[in-house]
Amino acid sequence: MRILGIETSCDETAAAVVSRTPDGEPVIESNIIFSQVEEHAAFGGVVPEIAARAHLSVLDKVVQMALDEADCTLDEIDGIAATAGPGLIGGLMVGLMTAKALSAAGGKPFIGINHLEGHALTARLTDGLQFPYLLLLVSGGHSQILCVKGLGDYERWSTTIDDAAGELFDKTAKLLGLPFPGGPNVERAARNGDPKRFPLSLPLRGQDTLNMSFSGLKTAVRQTAERLAPLENQDVNDICAALQETVGRIFEERCRQAIEKFNDVSQAKDGGSLVVAGGVASNSHIRQVLADLCEDAGWQLVAPPAILCTDNAAMIAWAALERLERGESSPLDLAPRSRWPLDEESATVIGAGRRGAKV
Ligand code: KG4
Ligand code: ZN
């Protein structure tokens, strides 16, 4: 089976062709990502209207590039997938309409995919990971720990109660005058910083919860920056290092608790697998913290390559492949969803399940 996937939920216009060989091996035949970073940079965040127009103007070309690189034609594609949510409605509509049109014209099944499911299943594409596993999903709109029990069977064990971790990186960067997008620039600055100079306290400390909170850190960073203004380069580096280290400690603590819970629930004797996914998962300090935690716990850390952690269409094509193999597809009147939690049963928490403009 060979799937064309399209991703347009935020500020990346992406298309990919993914297949499974007859002996079951997943193959990424192409993975084209056209970033809109330059178009949003002047605004310090993603502007929904600009994003939708930019998707519209390049998507056809990006799809053609994905087919060319995979050296195949639409005739050789078995299904067409697009992200149906959560995300910015304008962008989602562009991707969905394109996928639906290609599906109708070519008589191929169409399937709308949850962007978060794409992130959640990436480790099965890259590492052939078996269910169940724990997933730390940390992106610009989400910070969650999920128990991934099977395809479509997700239990949310932890979420942010306010901002997402990626949002914290982006807002900190903006406040410190670092260019958009924030995450990679904060990481770069942190490399030359001293994480001990500005100790930041851990949010929700001592509370009986697996949830996370990041908005207090944003305030602490702002107050520190205001106190020091005007900021020298070293101040910026030190604040970034402190922030990155504190976020790492939050993930470490919450994942440790989740691992204990997983071990209790599953009564597993040999360790399980922790997957880290989403844009923030491309941060090397955070990967290292999680690798050390897993080593301690006798668990395996599965961290897909950074290019498959940030938004891409290979993950959408893969999720579609798994669902189509199970005989599923979507109707051509499927509507985009700005909000679409992976675990529909879980209680709504402000800040969780939201993915949208980062301005
Ligand atoms: O998954 P993603 O590409 O898009 C969303 O689904 O939101 O994640 C983007 C987020 C942004 O907030 C970005 O600043 C953050 O991931 N990010 C990082 C790094 N690279 C991207 N955060 C920290 N360190 C990084 N190296
Ligand atoms: Zn994402």
Q: Residue 143 gets which letter from DSSP?
A: E
**How far apart are the C-alpha atoms of 290 and 294, rounded to whole Å?**
6
Q: Distance, CA 199 to ligand 2 centroid (Å)?
A: 30
In a domain, 330, yes or no: no
How would you class 336 by CB atoms within 10 Å of its CB: exposed for 0-12, middle for 13-18, buried for 19 or more?
Answer: buried
Q: Which residues contact 165 (CB under 8 A, 6 or more apart)?
A: 138, 139, 143, 212, 214, 247, 250, 251, 280
Q: Tell me, yes or no, whether 91 lies in a domain.
A: yes
One domain for residues 207 and 314: no
Q: Please, which pLDDT band fits residue 359 given cuts at 50, 70 and 90? A: very low
Output the residue whose Cα is nearest ligand 1's atom 16. Answer: 279
Per residue in 181-194, pLDDT (tens digit) is 899 999 999 999 99
Residues 16 and 152 in one domain: no
Is residue 283 within 6 Å of ligand 1 at its C-beta?
yes
Question: What spacing in Å lies between the alpha carbon of 283 and ligand 1's midpoint?
Answer: 9
Q: What does the pLDDT look like over 209-260, one tens digit per residue?
A: 999 999 999 999 999 999 999 999 999 999 999 999 999 999 999 999 999 9
Give the model confidence (pLDDT) of 51-84 as tens digits.
Answer: 999 999 999 999 999 999 999 999 999 999 999 9
Residues 245, 107 share a domain: no
Residue whose Cα lies nearest atom 7 of ligand 1: it is 140
- Total domains, the chain: 2
73-82, 155-164, 265-274: lowest mean pLDDT where?
265-274
In sequence order, the β-bridge partners of residue 275 are 135, 302
Question: CB neighbours of 187 closer than 8 A, spacing ≥ 6?
Answer: 240, 244, 283, 284, 285
**Do 293 and 164 belong to one domain?**
yes
Q: Which helix (H) or strand (E) holds 158?
A: strand 153-159
Q: Is the CB of 311 under 6 A from ligand 1?
A: yes
Asked whether residue 111 falls in the same domain as residue 183, the answer is no
Could you give the percent of the chain with pLDDT greater than 90?
A: 85
Is 359 part of a structural domain of the chain? no
Domain boundary among 277, 307, 337: 307
**Sequence-ordered list of residues with C-beta below 8 angstroms from that of 73, at least 6 positions apart, any chain:** 67
Mean pLDDT of 294-313: 95
Q: DSSP letter for 76, please.
A: G
β-partners of residue 145 are: 136, 158
H/E stretch holding 137 reads strand 133-138
Give Dmax over CA atoms of the chain in angstroms.
62
Q: Which helix (H) or strand (E) holds 146?
A: strand 143-150
The reply to whether 141 and 50 lie within a common domain is: no
> Span 318-333, mean pLDDT?
98
The CATH number of the domain where 264 resides is what? 3.30.420.40
pLDDT per position as a tens digit, 85-132? 999 999 999 999 999 999 999 999 999 999 999 999 999 999 999 999
Q: Are residues 274 and 315 in the same domain?
A: no
Q: State in Å: Cα 279 to ligand 1 middle.
A: 3
pLDDT at 351 over 80: no
Domain membership of residue 350 (yes or no) is no
Q: Are residues 33 and 109 in the same domain?
A: yes
Of ligand 1's atoms, which has the minimum distance to the CA of residue 166?
Answer: 12
Q: Which domain holds residue 94?
A: 2-120+310-325
Q: Are 187 and 67 contained in the same domain?
A: no
One domain, residues 288 and 181? yes
Assigned domain for 205 exists: yes
Same domain, yes or no: 35 and 77: yes
Assess contact for 171 and 185: CB atoms under 8 A. Answer: no
Assess if residue 85 is contained within a domain: yes
Say if 111 falls within a structural domain.
Answer: yes
From the CA of 310, give the closest atom in ligand 1: 3
* CA pair distance 176, 186, nearest whole angstrom: 9
Pair (303, 314) in one structural domain: no
Ligand 1 atom nearest to 9, measured from its CA: 6
Q: How far is the CA of 10 from the centre of ligand 1 (A)?
A: 11
CA 313 to chain centre: 12
| Structural domain includes residue 332 | no
